[in-house]
Amino acid sequence: MFRHQYVSGDAIDLPVGKVVCVGRNYVEHVKELNNEMPTEPLLFIKPSTAVVTLEDAFSIPQNRGAVHHEVEIAILIGQKVSSISEASAWQFVRGVGIALDLTLRDVQSRLKEKGHPWEQAKAFDGACPLSRWLPVSEISNRDNIEIQLMRNGVLQQKGASQQMITAIPTLMAYISQYFTLEPGDIVLTGTPAGVGPLESGDTLVTELNNQYQVETSVI
Ligand code: ZN
């Protein structure tokens, strides 16, 4: 079972809540999937049952088509918030971490073609490997947090929050107009370009800001 924990190993006394995600938040990623450029944030939710530990080996669904990695900057919410302002958003953040927004890309494409919701492609059990958290006080570059993913020694994804279409505090303010965020909830902030398939046996190295690196394997 996933528990929130700091990188130092200290437990965080918050339940694991819902994961609110934004799609299409980096221009180069919108282009690589031939999607339309969004005019406002495109939101979806993964349930708490999707969350597993990134530091442990994790399994991916078999026989459901391509499973893509989307590495993302993750935000841990520390207080209950609703309709907050952009200017106040960071004060409600407890930690910053690394998430994989695992996506059944073939399933998603079929559902998109029919104009259906994509929950089955995004919200399945294990669809959100999530790292331990860096305390927000240790993030000195909140306006340009860096994230990257290497797969089997090859750099696949590299981005920084300055490249986001909707910046993190703006995104939190927007989300909180629609969904109350509770302590222990998580916000995923979108993926940079370079998404691609995972295979069982892969080794992944993800990194946040040169401050935290996680090596993990895919079962
Ligand atoms: Zn994503």
84 CA to centre of ligand 1 in angstroms: 23
85 alpha carbon – ligand 1 mean position (Å): 24
Q: How far is the CA of 11 from the centre of ligand 1 (A)?
A: 26
Distance 128 CA to ligand 1 centre (A): 10
Bridge partners of 67, per DSSP, are: 104
Measure 140 CA to ligand 1 centroid, in angstroms: 24
51: tokens are: 């969350």
Per-residue pLDDT of 61-105, as tens digits, reads 999 999 999 999 999 999 999 999 999 999 999 999 999 999 999
Expressed in angstroms and rounded, the spacing between residue 59 Cα and the centre of ligand 1 is 18
- Cα(158) to ligand 1 centroid in Å equals 14
Closest CA to 219 of 56, 60, 12, 10: 60
Instruction: Please tell me the predicted confidence (pLDDT) of residue 148.
Output: 98
CA 201, CA 82: separation in Å to the nearest integer?
42
Per-residue confidence of the chain (219 residues) as pLDDT tens digits? 899 999 999 999 999 999 999 999 999 999 999 999 999 999 999 999 999 999 999 999 999 999 999 999 999 999 999 999 999 999 999 999 999 999 999 999 999 999 999 999 999 999 999 999 999 999 999 999 999 999 999 999 999 999 999 999 999 999 999 999 999 999 999 999 999 999 999 999 999 999 999 999 999
Whole-number Å distance, alpha carbon 75 to ligand 1 midpoint, is 13
Q: How far is the CA of 101 from the centre of ligand 1 (A)?
A: 5
Cα-to-centroid distance, 80 and ligand 1 (Å): 24
pLDDT for the residue numbered 1 = 81
Buried b (16+ CB within 10 A) or exposed e, 159-191: bbbebbbbbbbebbbbbbeeeebbbbbbbbbbb
Q: 191: CA distance to ligand 1 center in Å? A: 5
